[in-house]
Structure 1
């Protein structure tokens, strides 16, 4: 019997990583089992939390040939809790502090770089609040590629009812360390097209490499297959853009 590993074989599991301040936090890791040189992708989950959808996204990137990991940003507030309960506990605590987010992404990045076959290149992608946090991470850490999927409050001021940590971070744009891909719904209000245009103009002024795509007929969370907001055409095209982008910037 052949001992060769099938090229589509994956391993996916919950692991413990060192996050901000050396905190030991939960994360979901998926890796291809076949040998090869691979880039790494840090998936930043959306505000609803470290849920099934986020873990499916991690496995999707592994199936595409990357080492991928999603740190549980709500672990400290509610270790072992249901994602909805953990998200509620985190919101009650004021949300994920920006400094802590950067530390957790840095720890996740270090974990990926230490894996067998890692080529040392790291991309980050986030959805909803994670889109804002993807931009934050890319402006705070040395990364190779970043994807912002409809991240609000990069430009907009804090809105009542949102976690206290959701404040504008446009002033961090001069520190953007890598190319940025932005995917937005043209019917979204957070971020609205004018906020996206403001970010686009600022990055252009700073001569930061970026490409933004807006999708007609799509609002917030158009990638979320379990929600009424799901827009298949936008999501399919969005995935093509993401994989092409990471393929360009994370290859050996």
Structure 2
């Protein structure tokens, strides 16, 4: 495995840094763009990147807070959250960065020409939107992305996004996998029902998996909501999905 910090061209031609890992095997492999959660590109997200490389994928996690300035990832992420994720990461900017990351991974010598995206928390919402906005993607995984359906403003979270992105679902072109915890509050089970109902109505290719006894962030080993059994099964679902959609040469 080779893991390193790389740079690629993002939205508006901006230079964006990201954490990359890839296997050393000679045969071409599929690629995965990993979208970090609200805490930022932290140790766990980098572990996720290396997990994909260990399992035979090239992976890149763009630092979506990169424009907030240099510094330790935790300080940069804190500044972005204080500003408000909607302001720090407007949708068009994030989609441009994801498109740039997708182009980058597909252009690498070891690529088989296919790329997917996976996101967690805020990154899950962004992965859902990318499935509708970035046509170069071959698959997308939304892990408990909140605020996909419109939310009533929460006075305790004045900087949280409230406008949903479900209205973009007619444009969805990539198959979607959703992973959710039934104890989560954003998205709660009703919100997941609403998303599922709309995707079914539109005839989109998707599959959702929901886990009892799991809340928000239940994959993250350093998170208080980590649930081992549910996370292990969820990861099996993720790799089975990507194996189908990414691990064969693009025709």
Counterpart of 1:132 in structure 2 is 125
Counterpart of 1:19 in structure 2 is 10
Counterpart of 2:79 in structure 1 is 89
Counterpart of 1:233 in structure 2 is 229
**CA–CA separation in structure 2 for the residues paired with 1:219 and 1:164:** 19
CA RMSD of aligned residues (A): 1.2
Pick aligned residue for 1:141 from 110, 134, 139: 134
Contact 2:125–2:146 (CA<8 Å) still a contact in 1? Answer: yes
1:110 aligns with 2:100: no
Contact 1:78–1:89 (CA<8 Å) still a contact in 2? Answer: no
Q: List alignment gaps of at least 5 residues for structure 1.
A: 1-9
**CA–CA separation in structure 1 for the residues paired with 2:30 and 2:161:** 30
Contact 2:150–2:162 (CA<8 Å) still a contact in 1? Answer: no
Q: Which has the higher helix share?
A: 2
Q: For residue 214 of structure 1, give the secondary structure of its aligned residue in structure 2.
A: strand
Shift of 1:251: 1.7
Contact 1:98–1:165 (CA<8 Å) still a contact in 2? Answer: no
Counterpart of 1:224 in structure 2 is 220
**CA–CA separation in structure 2 for the residues paired with 1:50 and 1:228:** 18
Pick aligned residue for 1:99 from 92, 101, 104: 92
Counterpart of 2:240 in structure 1 is 244
**CA–CA separation in structure 2 for the residues paired with 1:31 and 1:64:** 9
Counterpart of 2:48 in structure 1 is 57
Shift of 1:84: 2.2
TM-score by length of 2: 0.93
**CA–CA separation in structure 2 for the residues paired with 1:194 and 1:211:** 16
Shift of 1:162: 5.1
Moved over 4 A (4+): none
Q: List alignment gaps of at least 5 residues for structure 2.
A: none
Q: For residue 209 of structure 2, give the secondary structure of its aligned residue in structure 1.
A: strand
1:37 aligns with 2:32: no
Q: For residue 29 of structure 1, give the secondary structure of its aligned residue in structure 2.
A: strand
Contact 2:147–2:161 (CA<8 Å) still a contact in 1? Answer: no
Number of aligned residue pairs: give it.
Answer: 242
TM-score by length of 1: 0.93
Counterpart of 1:159 in structure 2 is 154
Q: For residue 146 of structure 1, give the secondary structure of its aligned residue in structure 2.
A: strand
Shift of 1:83: 2.3
Counterpart of 2:210 in structure 1 is 214
1:69 aligns with 2:63: no
Deviations along 1:20-66, one digit per CA (max 9) or x if unpaired, are: 11100110111111201111100000000011111110010011111
**CA–CA separation in structure 1 for the residues paired with 2:187 and 2:161:** 16
Shift of 1:243: 0.3
**CA–CA separation in structure 2 for the residues paired with 1:46 and 1:191:** 14
Shift of 1:163: 3.1
